[in-house]
Structure 1
């Protein structure tokens, strides 16, 4: 079971980083902040041993990845006078 949880954790860790890279590719500052947050959250819970708590944390990480991938739109200001943005 521990091996499966480690594999699942590594999978969602990588998936979160790939999703953030894709969503925030034009915004270096936001991408860096997202990377730091992902790394710090996983590092903070690295030594968790309670299987139920680990599953809860991984479910939360999966939900966050889905939210970032489906609900976040990174906009770029094209014309400030006309308030025109490009997604």
Structure 2
């Protein structure tokens, strides 16, 4: 393995662990389990020598890091039935769309009706 690839692997390993510390801050169990999983995955792929395969694994590591940063949030129950979520600057925030059950049922019926008319022809 070239020195450059080795540095990239070590950097992705360190970055994942830093992300783990930020995402699961204050949750000892999650920190421990995430640490075990990261170490396990890197040990499992330790034997890989093909440079292309290593590059793909590094890309996968980067994707996992982004997923952790953007999609994982912590929530604590502050009182029965009431939770407080920890949202970071990296957390993906989506626009809320109100759900109108009647409108979706009506639209579905229209599609079904138009398909039935096409089949009759």
TM-score by length of 2: 0.66
Q: Who is 2:19 aligned against?
A: 19
Deviations along 1:3-44, one digit per CA (max 9) or x if unpaired, are 111100100100000100111012111110100010011111
Which whole-Å CA distance do the structure 2 matches of 1:26 and 1:76 have between them?
11
- What 5-or-longer segments of structure 2 have no aligned partner? 87-121
Q: Who is 1:41 aligned against?
A: 41
**With CA pairs under 8 Å and 6+ residues apart, which has the higher RCO, 1 or 2?**
1
Could you tell me how far 1:52 is from its partner in structure 2? 1.1
Larger radius of gyration: 2
- Secondary structure at 1:66 match in 2: helix
2:75–2:83 Cα contact (<8 Å) kept: no
1:75–1:86 Cα contact (<8 Å) kept: yes
1:16–1:65 Cα contact (<8 Å) kept: yes
- Secondary structure at 2:74 match in 1: coil
Give the CA RMSD over aligned residues.
1.3
Q: Could you list the runs of 4 or more consecutive aligned residues of structure 1 that deviate by over 6 angstroms after TM superposition? A: none
- What 5-or-longer segments of structure 1 have no aligned partner? none
* Corresponding residue pairs, total: 86
TM-score by length of 1: 0.90
